[in-house]
């Protein structure tokens, strides 16, 4: 009987290493899910550990401040992962996250909570830049798609923990659990090898060869991959100004900007960070805490579905269909608020469940497609030493978009009404869907060199391969 491919030793090594490096993403998910239950506690006079409940304005800064700070800290991350390596960037990211937990646990002023959120997001952004770069360079091209989806799976796991534990324990207890998780998931990083691509670009050929033999299982496969590294058109030392004059890099950057910016413009993060607040605002019979947990579990299930389908159907079709699904969910939310805001309307029957069902559709489709694949594709589109700079620039744009959304989502909803806000997201989603269809290439089972060649040939435009 033939042994399943995944149980061969070299493939197990790839899966094990990518699994370990993604453990740190669990705490990033716990941080991303943090505002949903914690804002409710900080707003409740009987649950807050501060001197008074936070105001709406203060709450918006608690949610958004980290993204504002990371707009400026992400660019240096490109230099950091190119200077000290992917592995040590991830280890270093533990420091601001642990400092943030200390502020949460011992701070009694609102500014300390805001500062803690800023520090935590600095660490999280380092994780979100370094993990996809590291995982894409550890994985072989045949398994890069499946392994690249691990980030969303582990992030979703952290969000589920936040949504299922956060509402039912105290502020102090949750943040104690968060600090413990950072320490436990960070320690295994010490045993990981450095990325062979990074070792090669630093001139450590012998170390890169040794790592590749360990990962690929044969010296012949290692030498083939080393030849691909050597044929890279990017220089070992990359200057940012030179990159900005490189048309191929700019083309990769433009497509990656479309994916990362598009992932924010469809409104998922605005919905996610205010999940419990949105469910409470619907005034339906579904308890907001239970609805949040259900939606978190759906997100994790969707992330688990991504791995087996990514290399079967390809990145591009999944992106198109998942964005279309998000549009359906947004139409459901817009319709609910449009109808329910009619004077004298009584929410009953199916309308009690329409908001939760719409949120489930949005969360599932985002997690199974756009949320999982935008980071994978962003890492795949860049080659060699330029990868760190490209991914960090993409992350900066994503942070800017998320900051604008989560900071002003509540204000826009208050000014325009919930229905109008979701109709705007519907228009955005339609535009992003069209642009993905026109401009995003397929990278399924292609080496980095083959992806760069396809970008140069422009053969993917208007849906053509």
CA 17 – CA 402 distance, rounded (Å): 30
Q: What is the pLDDT of residue 458?
A: 59
CA 320 – CA 370 distance, rounded (Å): 9
CA 63 – CA 118 distance, rounded (Å): 9
Q: What is the fold, at CATH topology level, of the domain defined by 5-192+232-463? A: Growth Hormone; Chain: A; (1.20.1250)
- Residue 95 burial by Cβ neighbours in a 10 Å radius (0-12, 13-18, 19+): middle
Which residue has tokens 């590749």?
212
Q: How far from the centroid of its chain's Cα atoms is residue 90's Cα?
A: 15
For 60-98, the DSSP string reads HHHHHHHHHHHHHHHHHHHHHHHHT-HHHHHHHTHHHHH
CA 222 – CA 220 distance, rounded (Å): 5
Q: Where are the domains of the chain?
A: 5-192+232-463
Contact (Cβ atoms closer than 8 angstroms) between residue 146 and residue 303: no
- Token duo for residue 116: 């803690």
Closest by CA to 384, choosing from 216, 256, 211, 229, is: 229
Q: What is the pLDDT of residue 183?
A: 94
Going residue by residue through the chain (465 aa), what tens digit of pLDDT does each one get? 343 444 457 788 888 999 999 999 999 999 988 887 888 888 888 888 787 888 878 887 888 888 888 888 877 887 788 888 899 999 999 999 999 999 999 988 889 999 999 999 899 989 988 898 898 889 887 777 778 778 888 988 898 888 888 888 888 999 999 999 999 999 999 999 998 888 888 888 889 889 888 888 888 888 888 887 776 644 455 666 767 777 888 888 888 888 887 777 887 766 665 555 556 655 555 565 666 677 777 778 877 777 777 767 778 888 899 999 999 988 988 888 888 777 766 766 777 778 778 888 888 888 888 877 877 787 788 776 677 777 778 878 888 887 887 777 777 777 888 788 889 889 988 998 998 888 888 877 777 777 777 777 755 444 444
- How far lies 75's CA from each of 40, 330, 388, 391, 392, in Å? 33, 33, 9, 9, 5
- Residue 437 burial by Cβ neighbours in a 10 Å radius (0-12, 13-18, 19+): middle
């Amino acid at each position: 009987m033939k042994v399943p491919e995944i149980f061969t030793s070299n493939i197990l090594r790839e899966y094990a290493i990518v699994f370990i490096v993604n453990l740190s993403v669990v705490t990033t998910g716990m941080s991303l899910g943090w505002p949903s239950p914690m804002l409710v506690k900080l707003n409740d006079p009987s649950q807050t550990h501060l001197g008074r409940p936070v105001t709406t304005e203060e709450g918006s800064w608690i949610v958004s401040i980290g993204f504002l700070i990371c707009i400026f800290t992400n660019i240096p991350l490109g230099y950091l992962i190119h200077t000290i390596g992917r592995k040590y960037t991830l280890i270093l990211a533990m420091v601001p996250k642990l400092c943030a937990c200390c502020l949460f646990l011992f701070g009694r002023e609102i500014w300390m909570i805001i500062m803690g959120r800023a520090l935590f997001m600095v660490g999280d952004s380092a994780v979100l830049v370094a993990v996809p770069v590291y995982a894409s360079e550890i994985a072989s091209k045949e398994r890069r798609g499946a392994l690249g989806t691990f980030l969303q799976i582990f992030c979703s796991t952290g969000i589920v923990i936040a949504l299922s534990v956060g509402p039912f324990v105290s502020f102090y207890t949750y943040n104690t659990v968060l600090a413990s998780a950072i320490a436990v998931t960070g320690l295994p990083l010490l045993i990981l090898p450095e990325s062979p691509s990074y070792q090669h670009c630093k001139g450590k050929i012998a170390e890169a060869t040794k790592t590749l033999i360990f990962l690929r299982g044969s010296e012949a496969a290692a030498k083939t991959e080393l030849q691909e590294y050597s044929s890279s058109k990017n220089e070992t030392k990359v200057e940012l100004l030179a990159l900005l004059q490189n048309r191929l890099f700019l083309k990769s950057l433009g497509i990656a900007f479309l994916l990362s910016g598009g992932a924010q413009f469809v409104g998922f993060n605005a919905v996610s960070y205010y999940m419990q607040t949105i469910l409470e605002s619907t005034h339906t019979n579904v308890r907001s805490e239970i609805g949040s947990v259900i939606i978190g579990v759906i997100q994790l299930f969707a992330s688990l579905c991504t791995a087996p389908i990514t290399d079967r159907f390809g990145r591009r079709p999944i992106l198109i269909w998942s964005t279309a699904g998000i549009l359906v969910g947004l139409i459901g939310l817009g319709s609910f608020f449009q109808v329910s805001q009619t004077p004298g309307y009584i929410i009953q029957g199916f309308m009690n469940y329409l908001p939760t069902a719409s949120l489930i559709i949005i969360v599932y489709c985002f997690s199974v497609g756009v949320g999982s694949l935008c980071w994978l594709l962003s890492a795949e589109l860049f080659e060699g030493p330029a990868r760190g700079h490209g991914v960090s620039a993409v992350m900066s744009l994503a942070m800017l978009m998320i900051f604008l959304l989560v900071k002003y989502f509540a204000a826009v909803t208050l000014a325009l009404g919930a229905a109008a806000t979701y109709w705007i997201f519907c228009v955005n989603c339609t535009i992003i869907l069209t642009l993905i269809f026109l401009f995003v290439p397929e990278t399924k089972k292609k080496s980095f060199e083959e992806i760069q060649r396809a970008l140069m040939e422009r053969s993917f435009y208007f849906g053509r391969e």
